[in-house]
Structure 1
Amino acid sequence: MNDNNEVFSINYKKSLQYWADIPPTVDGVLGGFGFISNADIEGSELFLKSLLSSESAPCTNVALDCGAGIGRITKYLLLPHFESVDVVEPDEKFINSIKEYVGELASKLGTLYKVGLQEFVPVRKYDVIWNQWVLGYLTDEDLEAYLIRCRDSLSDNGIIVVKENVTSSGKVEKDSTDSSVTRSFKQYIKIFKKCNLKRIKQCKQANFPNGIYPVYMFALVPNNKKIEKSIDHSI
């Protein structure tokens, strides 16, 4: 962690350079924590299934995997539930690995966008937009603009999912190695509100090892969307 007093700001070029040196493997995209992948997918699966079985469930036509890496979430979580999945990933070797990694489900892949989220503009409507371990690479300003673009590209009953590390300190913690930040729970809530997004469900990921950041999942819909009573529990 960058815990000295020097001025820190997110640098997109530096982030790209960091990931350019990371191998296209599960362990690589998870920063050496490949062993948590199964527990992560299990938690996400429970969360997604609860959304898809709710009274105001989204359709299952097309999902978007943002910051997809090699397609781990696309393969194990989204493709089994959706007719088609588009992906956004700025690293060339990662995006070139996706079809092979996904394997027999590759025919259900839609468009692969090689672009950073700060520059990504959706051109279609999505039922679910999944963001995981990627929003810490965006500045607050770019994150808010990005979430608004996502909000405006949701289909009827569409949902944005955010699954991210949160700090225990309540403060932003900065990492100069990959030029990223880890935000607090309250900071995410503040950003969601600024983007006119409301939480319809949130869960804390269970069965992760001690010594790593808490991970929360948020399901977000536009403020003007009428939904059933919100649910808040851990899985």
Structure 2
Amino acid sequence: MEDVLAEDEQAFYSKAEQYWKEVPPTVDGMLGGYGSISSIDINGSKKFLQKFLGEGKGKTRPGCALDCGAGIGRITKRLLLPLFRTVDLVDVTQEFLDKARTYLGEEGKRVENYICCGLQDFQPQTGRYDVIWIQWVIGHLTDDHLVEFLRRCRSALRPDGLIVVKDNVAYEGVVPDDVDSSVCRDLGVLRHLVARAGLTVVHEEQQQNFPEEIYQVHTLALR
């Protein structure tokens, strides 16, 4: 993948930015026309996350979460704000973050930061987060940038914190998508990049009950 992108990395990122600027700031827009799967997605994520949350040794505390590639705050609203005291959002599209301020409603008062930045450039604050949630966005990073971003995320965790990656998974290899300027990696490639970042997959599940015509979606908990 890096060979393909090395010459044109800047275009890879700018094309993706342009794509998202033309997407409507709605749940359906965030989900590529599959807004109907939002509740299934959130319910699966909640069951996954609750395995780790709580008090006591090794448990992740419900303090501060980070929503990466947050869009209008769909995951913040329905997954993170109900479980955490405060949440930060980061997304490359300012219009989405502006929309999030109204979409999140009264509970949005517990959002501390709306950060407009591509993840390849984003520097999360060291030791700030109990959970860093990264969903449907890693395909917009080159392999090297993904590894570097995961390393920065690792440094941004509090003790017993958790990084969660939830994303489409290819059946084999790396599949490019020219429409939104992204790639879809298979699980082997993804696990290799996680290991390069110095992280370990502590739990992994496949999301159930999604439409058959879309990619498999897997959720990985990393520490």
Shorter-normalised TM range: over 0.9
> Residue type of the partner of 1:49?
Q
Partner of 1:115: 117
Q: Tell me whether 1:133 sits opposite 2:141 in the alignment.
A: no
- Percent identical across equivalent pairs? 45
Q: Name the CA distance, whole Å, in 1 between partners of 2:173 and 2:161.
A: 31
Following superposition, the deviation at residue 68 of structure 1 comes to 0.1
Unaligned runs of 5+ residues in structure 1 are 1-6, 222-235
Partner of 2:218: 216
Partner of 2:181: 179
Residues 164 and 222, structure 2, Cα contact 8 Å, conserved in 1: yes
Following superposition, the deviation at residue 162 of structure 1 comes to 0.2
Q: Name the CA distance, whole Å, in 1 between partners of 2:92 and 2:52.
A: 28
> Residue type of the partner of 1:58?
T
Q: Name the CA distance, whole Å, in 2 between partners of 1:194 and 1:21.
A: 34
Unaligned runs of 5+ residues in structure 2 are none
Partner of 2:30: 29
Following superposition, the deviation at residue 53 of structure 1 comes to 4.3
SS at match of 2:159: strand
Partner of 1:86: 88
Give runs of aligned pairs for residues 1-235 of structure 1, distance below 5 A: 11-53=12-54, 56-124=58-126, 125-168=128-171, 170-221=172-223
> Residue type of the partner of 1:182?
C
Deviations 1:5-32 (A, max 9, x none): xx66651111010000000000001000
> Residue type of the partner of 2:213?
G
Q: CA RMSD in A?
A: 1.2
**Which runs of structure 1 show a deviation greater than 4 angstroms over 4 or more consecutive aligned residues?**
7-10
Partner of 1:229: none
TM-score by length of 1: 0.88
